Amino acid sequence: MGHFQIGMHQKIEKKEIAKDPIIEILKSGPKTFEEISFLLHTSIEELNVKLTMLEVDGIISKDVSNKFKMNC
Residue 20, C-beta contacts closer than 8 angstroms, at least 6 positions apart: 12, 50, 54
| Domain count across the chain | 1
- Residue 8 pLDDT grade (very low, low, confident, very high; cuts 50, 70, 90): very low
Q: What is the pLDDT of residue 15?
A: 54
Give the model confidence (pLDDT) of 34-65 as tens digits: 999 999 999 999 999 999 999 999 999 999 99
Number of H helices and number of E strands within the chain? Answer: 4, 2
Range(s) of the domain holding residue 62 = 14-70
Q: Is position 35 within any domain? A: yes
Give domain status of residue 8, yes or no.
no
Residue 53's CATH number: 1.10.10
